[in-house]
Chains A and B, each alone.
Chain A
Amino acid sequence: MIYDISLGAVLIFVFFVVAVLALSFYFARKTKSAASYYAASGTIHYGVNGIAFAGDYLSAASFLGICGMIAFSGYDGFLYSVGYLAGWVAALFLVAEPLKRLGKYTFTDALDARFDSKSIKLTASISTLVVSIFYLIPQMVGAGDLVVPLLGLPHWVGVVIVGSVVIFIVATAGMTSTTYVQFIKGALLIIFSTILTIYILNHGLTLKPGGEAPDLMRISAIVDNGKVVGVSDDEFSFSAAYEVNDKTFVKLESSGIYRWFKLSEKDNYLDEALSLTIASDGTRLYNGEPRSAQKFYQVGYVTQILQDGVEVEETGPLGPFTIFSALENSELIRYSRIEIRDEQTTIWYQTPTSGKDMINPGLLLKVSSKHGANFWTKLNFVSLMLALFLGTSALPHILIRYYTVPSQRDARKSTIVAIVAIGFFYILTMYMGLGAAINGVLDVESSNMAGPLLAKYFGVGLFSIISAIAFATVLGTVAGLIVASSGAIAHDFLDNYLDMKMDDRKKVFAGKMAAFSVGIFAIILGILFKGMNVSFLVGLAFSVAASSNFPAIVFLLFWEKTTAKGIAASILTGISTSVGLILLSPSMFERYGLPAASAPFPMDNPGIFSIPLSVIMLVVVSLMTQKDNSRKVENYHLSKSA
Chain B
Amino acid sequence: MHHGPAAKLEADKSASKKAKLGLILFLVYAMIYAGFVFIGLSNLELLSNHVIGKQNLAIVYGFGLIILAMVMGFVYHFFCTRFENNMNKKQEDKK
Which A residues lie at the B interface, using CB under 8 A? 35, 38-39, 41-43, 75, 78-79, 81-82, 85-86, 88-90, 92-94, 97-98, 100-105, 109-110, 112-113, 116, 321-322, 324-325, 328, 356, 359-362, 367-368, 370, 378, 381-382, 385, 389, 403, 405-409, 412-413, 415-416, 419-420, 423, 426-427, 430, 495-496, 499, 557-558, 638-639, 641-642
Tell me the complex Cα distance, A378–B39, Å: 12
Q: Which residues of A contact B19 (CB under 8 A)?
A: 97-98, 557-558, 638
Nearest-neighbour CB distance to chain B for A629, whole angstroms, equals 17
A and B contact pairs by CB, cutoff 8 A, 22 listed? A35-B6, A85-B66, A92-B22, A92-B76, A93-B25, A94-B22, A97-B15, A101-B5, A101-B9, A324-B59, A325-B54, A328-B56, A356-B48, A360-B58, A367-B44, A409-B84, A413-B77, A423-B69, A430-B62, A499-B1, A557-B19, A638-B15
The verdict on A359 contacting B58 (CB below 8 Å), with A367-B44, A381-B41, A423-B67 known, is yes
Closest residue of chain A to B17 (Cβ to Cβ) is A642
Contact B56 A324 (CB under 8 A): yes
Which B residues lie at the A interface, using CB under 8 A? 1-7, 9-10, 12-19, 22-23, 25-26, 29-30, 33, 36-37, 40-41, 44-45, 47-48, 53-56, 58-59, 62-63, 65-67, 69-70, 72-74, 76-77, 80-81, 84
Contact B59 A110 (CB under 8 A): no
Tell me the complex Cα distance, A7–B79, Å: 53
Nearest-neighbour CB distance to chain A for B56, whole angstroms, equals 6
Contact A112 B3 (CB under 8 A): yes
Closest residue of chain B to A426 (Cβ to Cβ) is B66
Closest residue of chain B to A34 (Cβ to Cβ) is B6
Tell me the complex Cα distance, A427–B69, Å: 13
Nearest-neighbour CB distance to chain A for B63, whole angstroms, equals 6
Contact B15 A321 (CB under 8 A): no
Nearest-neighbour CB distance to chain A for B32, whole angstroms, equals 9
The verdict on A92 contacting B73 (CB below 8 Å), with A361-B47, A642-B13 known, is yes
Q: Which residues of A contact B80 (CB under 8 A)?
A: 409, 412
Tell me the complex Cα distance, A86–B76, Å: 15
Nearest-neighbour CB distance to chain A for B76, whole angstroms, equals 6
Neighbour of B37 across the interface among A90, A110, A385, CB < 8 A? A385
Contact B73 A101 (CB under 8 A): no
Tell me the complex Cα distance, A495–B40, Å: 48
Contact B44 A368 (CB under 8 A): yes
The verdict on A412 contacting B77 (CB below 8 Å), with A104-B6, A113-B3 known, is yes
Contact B13 A367 (CB under 8 A): no
Contact B69 A85 (CB under 8 A): yes
The verdict on A641 contacting B15 (CB below 8 Å), with A360-B44, A385-B37 known, is yes
Contact B37 A427 (CB under 8 A): no
Neighbour of B65 across the interface among A43, A85, A92, A360, CB < 8 A? A85
List 7 extra interface pairs beyond A97-B12, A642-B13, CB under 8 A.
Answer: A94-B23, A97-B15, A101-B15, A361-B47, A378-B41, A420-B70, A426-B66
Tell me the complex Cα distance, A403–B15, Å: 18
Contact A382 B62 (CB under 8 A): no
The verdict on A102 contacting B23 (CB below 8 Å), with A361-B40, A642-B16 known, is no
Closest residue of chain A to B15 (Cβ to Cβ) is A641
Nearest-neighbour CB distance to chain B for A153, whole angstroms, equals 36
Q: Which residues of B contact A359 (CB under 8 A)?
A: 56, 58-59
Tell me the complex Cα distance, A209–B75, Å: 44
Q: Which residues of A contact B23 (CB under 8 A)?
A: 93-94, 558
Q: Which residues of A contact B70 (CB under 8 A)?
A: 416, 419-420, 423
Contact B76 A78 (CB under 8 A): no
Q: Which residues of A contact B33 (CB under 8 A)?
A: 86, 385, 389
Tell me the complex Cα distance, A103–B1, Å: 12
Tell me the complex Cα distance, A101–B53, Å: 46
Contact A103 B5 (CB under 8 A): yes
Contact B72 A89 (CB under 8 A): yes
Nearest-neighbour CB distance to chain B for A336, whole angstroms, equals 20
Q: Which residues of B contact A97 (CB under 8 A)?
A: 12, 15, 18-19
The verdict on A641 contacting B16 (CB below 8 Å), with A86-B69, A412-B80 known, is yes
Tell me the complex Cα distance, A423–B44, Å: 24
Q: Which residues of B contact A557 (CB under 8 A)?
A: 19
Q: Which residues of B contact A112 (CB under 8 A)?
A: 3
Closest residue of chain A to B38 (Cβ to Cβ) is A382
Neighbour of A360 across the interface among B29, B37, B47, CB < 8 A? B47
Q: Which residues of B contact A109 (CB under 8 A)?
A: 3
Closest residue of chain B to A96 (Cβ to Cβ) is B22
Nearest-neighbour CB distance to chain A for B47, whole angstroms, equals 6
Nearest-neighbour CB distance to chain B for A622, whole angstroms, equals 19
Tell me the complex Cα distance, A110–B3, Å: 7
- Give 8 closest A-B pairs by Cβ, nearest first: A42-B7, A642-B16, A93-B22, A368-B44, A93-B26, A109-B3, A325-B54, A416-B73
Contact A495 B1 (CB under 8 A): yes
Q: Which residues of B contact A642 (CB under 8 A)?
A: 13-17
Q: Which residues of B contact A423 (CB under 8 A)?
A: 66-67, 69-70
Q: Which residues of B contact A79 (CB under 8 A)?
A: 62
Nearest-neighbour CB distance to chain B for A370, whole angstroms, equals 7
Neighbour of B16 across the interface among A403, A419, A420, A639, CB < 8 A? A639
Neighbour of A419 across the interface among B6, B13, B25, B73, CB < 8 A? B73
Q: Which residues of A contact B45 (CB under 8 A)?
A: 368
Tell me the complex Cα distance, A409–B14, Å: 11
The verdict on A103 contacting B3 (CB below 8 Å), with A85-B65, A93-B25, A419-B73 known, is yes
Contact A367 B6 (CB under 8 A): no
Contact B56 A360 (CB under 8 A): yes
Nearest-neighbour CB distance to chain B for A641, whole angstroms, equals 5
Nearest-neighbour CB distance to chain A for B5, whole angstroms, equals 6
Q: Which residues of A contact B62 (CB under 8 A)?
A: 75, 78-79, 81-82, 430
Nearest-neighbour CB distance to chain A for B73, whole angstroms, equals 4
Closest residue of chain A to B2 (Cβ to Cβ) is A104
Tell me the complex Cα distance, A409–B22, Å: 14
Tell me the complex Cα distance, A463–B22, Å: 42
Tell me the complex Cα distance, A78–B47, Å: 14
Q: Which residues of A contact B2 (CB under 8 A)?
A: 104
Closest residue of chain A to B54 (Cβ to Cβ) is A325
Closest residue of chain B to A382 (Cβ to Cβ) is B37
Tell me the complex Cα distance, A104–B8, Å: 10
Neighbour of A42 across the interface among B6, B36, B37, B77, CB < 8 A? B6
Contact B53 A321 (CB under 8 A): yes
Q: Which residues of A contact B63 (CB under 8 A)?
A: 427, 430
Tell me the complex Cα distance, A204–B20, Å: 47
Closest residue of chain B to A95 (Cβ to Cβ) is B22
Tell me the complex Cα distance, A39–B34, Å: 35
Closest residue of chain A to B24 (Cβ to Cβ) is A93
